[in-house]
Every structure is written in structure tokens, then in C-alpha cells.
Amino acid sequence: MSTQETHSGLKAREAAIRILMAVTLKNRPFDIALDDITKEAGLGARDRAFVMNLVMLTLRRLGGLKALLASLLERGLPRNATWTEAALVTGLAQILLMRTADHAAVNETVTLVKNLPGKERGFAGLVNAVLRRAAREQEKLQAILNDTPERDLPNWIAESWTTAYGQDGMRKIAASLQSNPALDISLNPGENIQEWAEKLDARVMPNGTLRRTLTDVTQLPGYEDGIWWVQDLAASLPVMLLGDVAGKHILDMCAAPGGKTMQLASQGATVTAIDRNKNRLKRLVANLERTKLKATVVTADAAKCAPETPADAILLDAPCSATGTLRRNPDVIWTKAPEDVAKLTALQARILDHAFGLLPAGGTLVYCVCSLEPSEGREQIDAFLTRHSDASRSPVEAAEIGGISEVITADGDLLCLPSLLAEEGGMDGFFAARLKKIK
């Protein structure tokens, strides 16, 4: 390995450690930390991709990696050895979960620790011993990691999911989070789905989603032409609950980054898309421009706003803990806590009450969240129905969503678990309920 390659590898691994610490210790969003730290390090596209994959994988398996590290340390680490711990965890991820050469993972991680300021440089020998042991016992340690998926979760998440879905259900969800998510694509309804399945090397899912392996979407056929957009299978289902929306005015509340807005517009709806986050709305506008779809975009607080033109129906994709998107956004569970869920639950209730007040008599409102927490889903709807005597649940039927009956609950709501359709690649966690305003 050349001196230049070694220097590049050191910079990339240092960036990965810094990003991991920024997310887990300072609660910085992963994408922002990734952009800032890789730019500061001056990393090229190849090194940036390595860093992104390493940190994403480490976050996805962080609980298990930390538990494994603890078993490899006789005395543990001092509380202030945060750099050393992050270096060890990323080193273990490279050796046990990536195809990184063992010697590169060990030597460059040790070099990084040797160069640390203060007392932590004294742990270089310990880091060397732990990572070399991991390389020697790779098969055994990989089995431990893969056989205990529940360790990848923070305790509060594991307890919440065990209460909601049982011990076996929690472990199945946790196991599904060990794998990479698929790339799901929503095709403009005017296009030939079979032709595009061939062009994109994808398969057609029951609801019409095209699914293929993850890749750089900008390099795929049809992206620049705006023929399709990226949208997880589960995220595409709530719009289907509104039925035929052609010619109707649909209020899409908390709309950014716009997957459901595009879905509605592509089906002929007149869409008013509302979101309070200006930066996220920029992405929505860019997506509309690329796909040549139209919607009225409004920057406003969904808990207070009212459209100038009354809506025929409302789609409310409420702000939530996003615990259903952990395969794609593994930083979520390490930056959230139970008190955050409680605050979001209260916010959802306020927005839901306000949105229902905008609905005409006989109108339909679809409430959805990409969360697996019952307080944000079923319990939120149960509480809403006790507050509103003029509201009723409108149960979902399998035929409306391509026959995917396993995601329909006893109440007639949607509950998509990441462990469902596992052989086909799973899906994001999602909850949706359809509500009617009684005339």
C-alpha cells in the first residue's frame, strides 16, 4: 500500500470515528455530520462512500458491537476514553461486518489512537490486541453478533417493541434491521411497469412498487427524465387509502421531502403541500421539477395553517420518532429517547385535531407515521376517536393495497413491520389509519 493510500485510509477512518461520535454523543443528524466532516477532511468520492458505509453499518449494529467489545475487554475503558471506544467499535465493524482487509483495519485504527492527544494514546496497545483478537476469532464473533440481534437496539426500544409485538416479534424486527434495505421506486402511472422493471433490473411488488438492490439512483435510467422517484413500499401505501384522487384537492400536510406529494400529483390530484421546514421543502420543489409534476407548495405550520381552497381529503404524514426507518436511518434510535416520543405524540395530537377540523363532512383523512411506537400509531388514533364523536375509523381492505393483507391490523389500520415480506427484502416500519368525518 502506497504512502498516499495509507494517508487516505487514515483520514477516512478518522472521519468515520468523528461522525460516529457526533451522532451518538452530540445528537447531530447523520447526513449533516457526514457532509460537514468529510468536506473538512477533503475526502474524495471513494473515501466518502467508504466512510458513509462504515458509519451506517456501525450505527445499525452499534448495540451489538458495544456488547461484543465489552466481552473482549477485561477491565473495560475509562468513561472519558470516547475516542478509543469509537475507534474500537468502527474497527470491529470493519473486521466483522465489512470486507475490509484485517491488516488495514487494525494498523490504521491503532495509528489513529497513537496520534490522539492526551492520555488516550496510551490505549494503542489495547486497541491493537482487541482488534487482532477479533481478526483471529472472526467467525465465532460474527456468529455472536448475528445470533443476538436484540443487542443492536437501545434498551428502551427493545422494551417498547417487546411490549408491543412480543419477544419473538421484537427479535424478528431487530434481525431485519441487520440487512441493507432495498431500493424501492414509484413509477409514474402513465409508464409501462413491465418495461421499466426490465430497464431498472427490478421486480414488481404487489402494490406496483419496483424493487431492486441499492445503488446510486442518479445513474439509473429514467432518473434524469423524472420517470420515477424513490419511495419505500410501506411509504407508498397511505396514499392508496385515499382511492381515486383524480380531480380532487388533496391537502398533503408535513409533505417534505415529497414522495407522497408526487404520488398524489401523478394520479391527477390537485395538491397543496404544506411543511414548516424550508430546507426540506427545497428538496420537495426539486423533486417536483425533476418529475415535471405540479403542486402548490406552502411553508407553514401544519398545526395552525388553513388552505385558501377547502380540501376534499387530507393526508397527514405527521412528524414522528421515525423508528420504522432504522435500516435507512440508523442514527435515529441513538439520537432519540422516550421523552422525545412523548413530545412528538403530543405534537401529533395537536396537528391531527387541527387537520380534522379542516376536513369537510363526509371527507377522508389518512394519518400516518413512519414509527413503530404504539403511542404514535394505534394509541394516537384511539385517543383521537375518544375526543371526536364526529369521526370514525374506515377499515382498510387488502384489495386496496395490492393484496398485502399481513399489514392490516384487527382494527383495520395499516401496520407495516420491517420483518414482514422478509424474503422479498422487508419494508420500512409504518402505521396508517383512515378516518372519516361523519356527516
| Count of alpha carbons within 13 angstroms of residue 351, beta-carbon side | 29
Q: What is the pLDDT of residues 180-199, one digit of tens each?
A: 889 999 999 989 999 999 99
What's the pLDDT band for 94 if we cut at 50, 70, 90?
very high
Cell of 205: 411488488
Task: Check pLDDT > 90 for residue 297.
Answer: yes
- Beta bridge partners of residue 378, listed in sequence order: none
Q: Do the bridges between strand 249-253 and strand 313-317 make them parallel or antiparallel, or are there none, so unpaired?
A: parallel
Mean pLDDT along residues 2-16: 74
DSSP 330-360: TTHHHH--HHHHHHHHHHHHHHHHHHHHTSP
Q: Domain ranges for the chain, please list them.
A: 3-147, 235-437
Inter-residue contact 364 to 218 (CB < 8 Å):
no
Q: What average pLDDT does the structure give for the chain?
A: 94
Could you tell me which residue, 214 or 290, shows the higher pLDDT?
Answer: 290
| Count of alpha carbons within 13 angstroms of residue 45, beta-carbon side | 1
Mean pLDDT along residues 86-102: 93
Q: How far is CA 5 from the centre of its chain?
A: 33
pLDDT at residue 7, rounded to an integer: 58
Q: What is the pLDDT of residues 44-69, one digit of tens each?
A: 999 999 999 999 999 999 999 999 99
What's the pLDDT band for 214 if we cut at 50, 70, 90?
confident
pTM: 0.91
Tell me which of 1.10.940.10, 2.40.50.140, 1.10.1270.20, 3.90.25.10 is the CATH number of domain 3-147: 1.10.940.10
Active-site annotation holds for 370? yes
Q: What is the dihedral of CA 420, 424, 428, 430, to 10 degrees?
A: -50
Q: What is the pLDDT of residues 393-429, one digit of tens each?
A: 999 999 999 999 999 999 999 999 999 998 899 999 9
Question: Residue 105 to residues 95, 108, 168: CA-CA distances in angstroms?
Answer: 7, 6, 35
User: Do 3-147 and 235-437 agree at the fold level?
Assistant: no
pLDDT at residue 80, rounded to an integer: 82
Per the residue annotation, which of 254, 305, 368, 370 is the catalytic one? 370
How many CB atoms are closer than 10 A to CB 155?
9
Q: Which residue, among 107, 69, 103, has the nearest Cα to 86 in the 3D structure?
A: 69
**Eight-state DSSP code of residue 20:** H
Q: Which of 114-123, 168-177, 204-213 has the lowest mean pLDDT?
A: 114-123
| Count of alpha carbons within 13 angstroms of residue 394, beta-carbon side | 18
pLDDT at residue 128, rounded to an integer: 95
What's the pLDDT band for 2 if we cut at 50, 70, 90?
very low
Inter-residue contact 344 to 321 (CB < 8 Å):
yes
Inter-residue contact 70 to 51 (CB < 8 Å):
no
Residue 289: exposure state from Cβ atoms within 10 A (0-12, 13-18, ≥19): exposed
Q: For the domain bounded by 235-437, which CATH number is listed?
A: 3.40.50.150
Q: Do the bridges between strand 270-275 and strand 249-253 make them parallel or antiparallel, or are there none, so unpaired?
A: parallel
Alpha-carbon span 212 to 232, nearest angstrom:
11
